[in-house]
């Protein structure tokens, strides 16, 4: 059997052990391990790299601990605007979307853009219309809201902080 390999991330930044409880550390590691296993299973069974990437990212988008999908950070106007991209190294086909607010799993929309093939990068309302045409699952924008992220935004506004002061991680 040919080799396979997989690497994943859930954001980087000023992430310090002293700022994290043991429970939070364990919870993040468990989520990463579950996503890693989901992708590994695809690859182990002969699935494609694209399917493995999708399996990992959907899982992380659904987890409110990470800044993507449910649990995404808030904009200045207290909305959640989501971006995603995917690329196939075999063909160098790519799909990307930005500024969507009601797409449950933005990576699925990015992949649909890639599969459609006419364009690479769609934005905002147009991307949402494209999603509707392709039957991509939508949700009420409130689905993405978490109190922890809203608190970060409020602290940022109240204290004139930068995003980096209120979030441990970038992205």
Partner 1 sequence: TVGAVALDTHGNLAAGTSTGGLTGKRWGRIGDAPIIGAGTYADNRSCAVSATGAGEYFIRVGVAREICSRLRLTDLPAQTAADEVMAEVKELGGDGGVILVTPAGDALFSFNTPGMYRGRATSEGMREVAIFAGE
Nearer to partner 1, 133 or 161 (CB): 161
Least distance from partner 1 to the Cβ atom of residue 171, Å: 2
Least distance from partner 1 to the Cβ atom of residue 17, Å: 6
Query: Taking the alpha carbons of 125, 105, 81, 114 in that order, is the dihedral positive or negative?
Result: negative
d(CA 140, CA 124): 15
Other residues' Cβ atoms within 10 Å of the Cβ of residue 51:
14
Q: What is the DSSP letter of 158?
A: H
Other residues' Cβ atoms within 10 Å of the Cβ of residue 77:
7
Nearer to partner 1, 3 or 135 (CB): 3
Nearer to partner 1, 81 or 134 (CB): 81
Least distance from partner 1 to the Cβ atom of residue 135, Å: 19
């Amino acid at each position: 059997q040919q080799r396979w390999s997989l690497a994943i991330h859930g954001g980087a930044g000023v992430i310090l052990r002293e700022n994290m409880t043991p429970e939070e550390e364990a919870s993040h590691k468990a989520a990463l391990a579950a996503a890693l296993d989901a992708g590994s299973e695809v690859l182990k069974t002969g699935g494609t790299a694209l399917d493995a990437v999708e399996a990992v990212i959907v899982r992380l988008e659904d987890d409110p601990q990470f800044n993507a999908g449910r649990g995404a950070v808030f904009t200045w106007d207290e909305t959640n605007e989501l971006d995603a991209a995917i690329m196939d190294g075999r063909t160098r086909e790519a799909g990307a979307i930005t500024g969507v607010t009601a797409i449950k799993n933005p990576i699925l929309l990015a992949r649909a853009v890639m599969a459609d093939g006419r364009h690479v990068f769609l934005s905002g309302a147009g991307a949402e219309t494209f999603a509707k045409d392709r039957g991509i699952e939508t949700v009420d924008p409130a689905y993405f809201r978490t109190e922890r992220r809203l608190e970060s935004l409020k602290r940022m506004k109240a204290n004139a902080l930068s995003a980096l002061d209120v979030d441990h991680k970038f992205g």
